[in-house]
Structure 1
Amino acid sequence: MSSLPSLTTPPTAPLQKSTHLYAVHQVPLKCDVYEAGDYPVNNPVFLFFHSGGLVCGSRSMVPPWLVQTCYQRKWPLVSASYRLLPQVDGDGLVDDARDAYEFARVYGASSKGNTRNVVVGGASAGFFLAAIIAHHLNPKPIALLSITGIPTFQHAFFNSSTLIPPEPIREEDVEHLVSEPISVGMSPYDAAAIFFTDKLLPGGARNPDFQPPLRPPSPASESQDINRGLLYDYYLYENMYPALVSSVDPGFEWAREELQKSKLNDWPLTVFIQGDKDTDVSPDVCADVAEWLGDEAAVLCMAKGQHHLFEKAWFLDADPQQAQDGDPMDAVRRAVAELDKAVSRFAH
């Protein structure tokens, strides 16, 4: 068994992004691949699903620290689009996740018929797609990474009529969103949330001189209602999420049953990054799932005083002020270290 690529000799080639069509399910489904030069084909691929409550978001929304992690380890990073609720149901999400997973498994393989190990992760509800891959597909990923994620909607939090905005969202406020055609996420321009390759220097360090580019005007065909995020608040308050995905979401309480030991033994190590002040997704969701999976299958990395997606614009590079006050990125770095351990078990 060989060791992981040494982080003391990071890649020197600049990071590049390429875009690929990985499937067509009524609409084209694309993914962006971030890599630099020729990576060893026995290294894993990291498949990432973006945040947005399954109702909005964009594949361009990738945390800089995650790109750094993959770049420094010479793991191709695949960020995939997927069709959004409610225009598709849970089965549609599985179809998209399956094809994205298959794309990642064969990406850059040395020859036809060969496949690669894949780590699957997601931010917020994007992690739900990672979880359903582990539930429904074989071979399973070698590890999962949840970034303030939603591993299941079959949890008490999603039946608690949680109100995020000051007033409940009315049905008439979202009915035009529900009647929209099938689409993938195309979020409004947000330079902090969107990853640009120029954010990193060759080797993976943060580029202190980065300036976000001005966004060119988008054609109408590429625009999307900026209010689609209201659907998350609406479905959460109305307790509708469990039913929307019930056909593919078995939850995790099975992990506590003695008869499910074999399934638990096959479950990939799941690393959870979570902020303990998260109000969009209760910390209890990930904490409970981690407890049910147990210490052999789950690691919970809690960031004190942090909210939902607290790390979305941050880098692995330590900020002296953050370090002085207690760096919340310590939870992220611990999660990355746990991921390294999981991946090392499959190195060859």
Structure 2
Amino acid sequence: MTFSNAAGSILATLTQVDRMGLLATRVKDLPVGEFVCLLDFITAEFHQYLRAIDLINNEGVETLLEQLLDAFTIKIGQILTADQTTIFLVNQEKKQLWYKTVLESTGRSQEYHLPIHVGILGHVATTGEALNIADAKTHPLFSEEVDQPPGYDTRTILCIPVFSTTNSNKPVAVVRLLNKENDVPFDGEDEQLFRSFGDSMGIIIESCQSFYVAARNQRGVSALLKATTTLGQSLDLETTLRSVMDQACNLMQADRSTLFLLSKETNELWTKVATVDEKKMVEIRIPANRGIAGYVASTGEALNIPDAYIDPRFDPSTDQKTGYKTRNILCMPVYNAKGELIG
């Protein structure tokens, strides 16, 4: 029985439950020289894992993904002479496509999510079939919701999947190019040119996504531990609320978070939030069936709203009291150990 010398293969083999005792059996009769060589291979693999762990624990790992996507976006658009290029990452668990862009108004990065089964974009993401369309708006799959950015006029479109390294039929991303230079359609040469570097992109994007998810999970564990420590150290509700919400902001990369508590006596949701200048805390009380928070409290249904002010359930009164402008919202019910809604 032998081990492959390929990087990562020895430790990967040893993690398999049905291979218990494999290493002991292998080294039992090894000459000293071969044993030293085996140790060198294992040491090299552990160094790779340690570097990966360092990267996961590095707060800049999420910035790494953003920088890579930004660089790829610019260069692909330049190579294929597209007016607009976007790389959408595929989230199979949530059935979503998502991407990040920098808002000109604030200079901050903003994350957007789109349904995975809608439009030309969704077709490519779910089938793995590239689509090259000379007149986008007349195509039966065209969806203004996902295939035409706000304020943009989509004419020609080239949508190409980027596949997983472990599953050649599973897209990990979709690259969408809009409006080729000189208002001519994209052609077969454009598709072939993209495929010349598409596989390498797939390896990089998939690896970065793995690090990105692991880093978020790590941050979530840290945030939970900090919040739990606060609950044990302080009896002051205002301090506790602020600490827990600070950790929630950090975990979700949100600009602001609020925990509304349910008062069964008054049938209200209430909280304390900071004004936009962070100088004082303001108590907010709303009926338990009013606004986005009230809807979630009444139905137990989580809501993910990309534009708060166009949702008819949104109540702007909190914004008016604090001076804050809400853009998008993720609102979820909170239950106690008995399964009772508490906020």
Same fold (TM over 0.5): no
Q: Which has the higher strand share?
A: 2
TM-score range relative to shorter protein: under 0.3
Q: Which has the higher helix share?
A: 2
Higher relative contact order (CA 8 A, sep 6+): 1
TM-score of the pair, normalised by structure 2: 0.25
TM-score of the pair, normalised by structure 1: 0.25
